[in-house]
Structure formats: structure tokens, C-alpha cells
């Protein structure tokens, strides 16, 4: 998988640690990890609202297969991501959350809390969450006797999301264009997106914002 990490301004100081743990775990499992911002507190400033836009652009263009994100509580980043078509984001406070999201919901984004409850040995909790999020087959269900209805409901939820959501370019054009422009304004993001995007329409639209 291609995994994109994105952090917002209030927790940007933790970005190097989060990137290191994600790269160690997911990279060790053969996944490609890229930090599209913020890389530290001096980087191009982003809020959790921008993170949802970035996740939408990367996932819908297939530039990334999975997004790891978060904010102080994790709630804002999760809600921001889930507001967009093509993004199914889970909320993760501990390793069991990551495991259950992997097995039951099988989405494409995770939002972590990087301030709430984040104390001594916080980096170990982050590491163990990543281990549970990216280890083993996905969507197998838990407990195993509930696998069939869980897989069916996850599929139905995905179909509902497609039915109620706008086309991704239409959805991005419908919101404040300055928000979108800021979200895609980082050189880290642009370098990665324009290299890996597989959606010509989405690529063309993003180019109108950054050129």
C-alpha cells in the first residue's frame, strides 16, 4: 500500500516521531510511507479541515491507498475526512481500535488523538496502533463468527457513501476554494500528488489551484 501521513498545526511537533513509528512499522511490512505535511511546526500550516480535503484528493486520485492523520482529539480529523466522498475514516485511541477498524470496517483512513491521553510512552501506543492497523489480512471480521454480516455491512456502507456523495471534483469545487488551495499548497503534497495521481480530471483541477 501507499500510505500518506498528514498532521495539523497543533500537533505538528509530534510529526517526526509519528513518521518514524509509521515508517518503521508499515515500511517494515513492505508498504510505502510518505509524509505530505506538516513535517514540523514550521511547515506549511494546516488545520484538521485541510486534512480532510487532502485525504479526499489523495485517496480519490489513487495517489495513496491509505491515510494516517489526526489532531488533538482525533475527532476533528475523523469528521473532516468522513465529510468527503471516497474516504472512510476510523477513530483510533488504542491498538484494539486499530485492529477492529482493520478487521470490521476495512476503511482507508485512520485518525489518531495526538494530545488527548497522550502522555508517557505515547510513542509506544502509536507504534502498537500502527502494528494492529497494518498487520494481517483486512476485513476478515471479529469475532470470526460475525465475519459474514460485518463484511456485508461494510460493503453496504461503502455503497451508501457513493450514493449520497457528490463527484469528488464537484464536491471540492463546492467548498471555499481558498480552503482547498491551502490544503494542496504544500510542496510536499504537490510533489507526491502530481507524481502518483491516476485521475486526470482531479489532477487538472488541482493544477488550476496551484499554477
pLDDT digits (tens, 9 = 90+) for 90-143: 999 999 999 999 999 999 999 999 999 998 999 999 999 999 999 988 999 999
Question: What's the mean pLDDT when you consider all of the chain?
Answer: 96
Average pLDDT on 154-178 reads 94
- pLDDT at position 136 is 85
- pLDDT at position 137 is 87
67 sits in which H/E element: strand 66-71
pLDDT at 211 over 90: no
pLDDT single digits (tens) 12-58: 999 999 999 999 999 999 999 999 999 999 999 999 999 999 999 99
User: How far is CA 103 from each of CA 5, 8, 45, 153, 211, rounded to the nearest angstrom?
Assistant: 21, 27, 34, 12, 41
> For the chain, what is the radius of gyration of the CA atoms?
16
**C-alpha cell of 173?**
469545487
Q: How far apart are CA 181 and CA 161, in angstroms?
A: 25
> What is the edge-to-edge ordering of all strands in the sheet holding 32-35?
32-35, 2-5, 66-71, 109-113, 89-92
26 neighbors 130 (Cβ within 8 angstroms): yes
- pLDDT at position 64 is 98
Q: In degrees to the nearest 10, what's the CA dihedral of 47, 53, 58, 64?
A: 50
Residue 13: is it exposed, middle or buried by C-beta count within 10 angstroms (0-12/13-18/19+)? middle
- Tell how far CA 29 is from the center of its chain: 18
22 neighbors 3 (Cβ within 8 angstroms): yes
pLDDT single digits (tens) 46-78: 999 999 999 999 999 999 999 999 999 999 999
127 neighbors 24 (Cβ within 8 angstroms): yes
Sorted by where each starts, the structural domains of the chain and their CATH numbers stand as 2-210 (3.40.1400.10)
11 neighbors 114 (Cβ within 8 angstroms): yes
- pLDDT at position 14 is 97
Amino acid at each position: 500500500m501507499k500510505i500518506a501521513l498528514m498532521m495539523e498545526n497543533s500537533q505538528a511537533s509530534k510529526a517526526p516521531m509519528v513518521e518514524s513509528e509509521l515508517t518503521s512499522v508499515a515500511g517494515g511490512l513492505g508498504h510505502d510511507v510518505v509524509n505530505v505535511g506538516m513535517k514540523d511546526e514550521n511547515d506549511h500550516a494546516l488545520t484538521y479541515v485541510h486534512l480532510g480535503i487532502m485525504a479526499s484528493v489523495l485517496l480519490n486520485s489513487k495517489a495513496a491507498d491509505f491515510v494516517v492523520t489526526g489532531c488533538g482529539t482525533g475527532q476533528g480529523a475523523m469528521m473532516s475526512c468522513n465529510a468527503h466522498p471516497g474516504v472512510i475514516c476510523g477513530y483510533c485511541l488504542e491498538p484494539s481500535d486499530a485492529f477492529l477498524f482493520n478487521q470490521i470496517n476495512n476503511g482507508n483512513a485512520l485518525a489518531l488523538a495526538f494530545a488527548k491521553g497522550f502522555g508517557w510512552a505515547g510513542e509506544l501506543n502509536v507504534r502498537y496502533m500502527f502494528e494492529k492497523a497494518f498487520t494481517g489480512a483486512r476485513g476478515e471480521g471479529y469475532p470470526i463468527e460475525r465475519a459474514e454480516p460485518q463484511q456485508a455491512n461494510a460493503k453496504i456502507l461503502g455503497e451508501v457513501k457513493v450514493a449520497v456523495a457528490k463527484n469528488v471534483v464537484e464536491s471540492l469545487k463546492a467548498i471555499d476554494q481558498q480552503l482547498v488551495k491551502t490544503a494542496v499548497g504544500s510542496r510536499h503534497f504537490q510533489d507526491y500528488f502530481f507524481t502518483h495521481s491516476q485521475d486526470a480530471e482531479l489532477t487538472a483541477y488541482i493544477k488550476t489551484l496551484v499554477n
